[in-house]
Amino acid sequence: MILDRLLSWFTVDMGIDLGTCNTLVAVRGQGIVLNEPSVVAVRKGTNEVLRNGQAVGWVAKEMLGKTPGSITAVRPLKDGVISDFTITEAMLSYFIGKVTGRIRTIGPRVVISIPSGITLVEKRAVLDSAQRAGARKTYLLEEPVAAAIGAGLPFAEPTASMIVDIGGGTTEVAIMSLADIATCESVRVAGDDMDEAIINHMKRTYNLMIGEQTAERIKIEIGSAAPVGDETAMDVRGRDMISGLPRKTTITSEEIREALQEPVNSIIDAVTRTLERAEPELSADLVDRGIVIAGGGALLRGLGIVLQKATGLDVRLADDPLTCVARGTAVYLENLEEWQVTLENDMDV
């Protein structure tokens, strides 16, 4: 341990939020040093990563718009499970390499936050990838724990904290106390499903095909879970499903709210189910402490309001919800010696 601490003076120890949409890396004293989409460009139909494993993140995203159909984008963690180990490893190596730089004598210590629903085999694969990418030591941290630390919740104290982390592919709901997860649930309904609900709405109502990026823009610009502020409208362009020709139409914030109801309700259900399973003593704490929401999906307007209505508890949006998990992994890294002994769910296997 002491040697480890000494060595860490010479390395760039880092915390990584391996998200379904975005991967972030935080380094002690420097904050977030990398924030890129969790995307890898591969040759279509294969798991061959382009440019010797260098077509990852922004590079991959940029290549996509400009390359022929033989190249496709893969989001290896899209639904909160690792769809392809080779591609995940390429992504992790690229990001770790980018942060440590070329000259690497002693490998860094790495804390990686992973969706809590992933299997042991997948955890092993993440550990192996980090090791092969040059990590000296790797610790896996469950995402809700990282989110709770990042949000500054007293997760190690004998009082209940509740976090709801809404990402792109998964929503993680957890009640924690004494540095341990008491109850948690991971559902595969999150930001991506909101985009998909908007795509379906446009098809059904307007016979208009729109892309995923357009759907995401609609969600961010005028989407909501409950009425907040003035209702607005927006022009949307796409391809007419009948004539096949480009066309535009105007949509309103009310109809998008309606379209988002199904994924929003699934998230609410996951939260209420988790609350129903909590020990009464922990429920009692939550009456005072409320719920904290984090992740990009938490930025949907009015989401706090609908969660508050459904649970009767106070709902607070974490500061900077998109970086919450990454910041949490960095804080965990700093307190490794102290928390490693208390955290039962530490997976340094």
Question: Applying CB under 6 A, does 57 fall inside the site for ligand ADP?
Answer: no
Taken as a whole, the chain contains a residue count of: 349
Torsion of Cα atoms, 127 then 132 then 134 then 140, to 10°: 0
Sign (positive or negative) of CA dihedral 45, 47, 50, 56: positive
Between 135 and 166, name the residue whose CB sits nearer to ligand ADP: 166
Q: Which residue in the set 32, 220, 226, 234 belongs to the binding site for ligand ADP (CB under 6 A)? A: 220
| Phi, psi dihedral angles at 6 (to 5 degrees) | -65, -45
Nearer to Mg ion, 143 or 346 (CB): 143
Applying CB under 5 A, which of residues 144, 167, 238, 321 lies at the interface with Mg ion?
167
Site residues for ligand ADP, 235-274, by CB under 6 A, read none
Strands 315-317 and 291-294: parallel
Q: What minimum distance in Å lies between the beta carbon of 240 and Mg ion?
A: 36
Question: 194: which 2 tokens?
Answer: 């909101």
Task: Give the DSSP per-residue string, 241-310.
Answer: TTT--EEEEEEEHHHHHHHTHHHHHHHHHHHHHHHHTS-HHHHHHHHHH-EEEESGGGGSBTHHHHHHHH
Residue placing its CB nearer to Mg ion in the complex, 173 or 325 = 325
Q: Write down the least CB distance from residue 139 to ligand ADP, Å.
A: 19
Q: Residue 126 corresponds to which tokens in the numbers above? A: 């993440």
169 binds ligand ADP (CB under 6 A): yes
Binding mask 308-347 for Mg ion (x = CB under 5 A): -----------------x----------------------
- List contacts with Mg ion (CB under 5 A): 19, 167, 325
- List contacts with ligand ADP (CB under 6 A): 19-22, 167-169, 191-192, 216, 219-220, 295-297, 299-300, 322
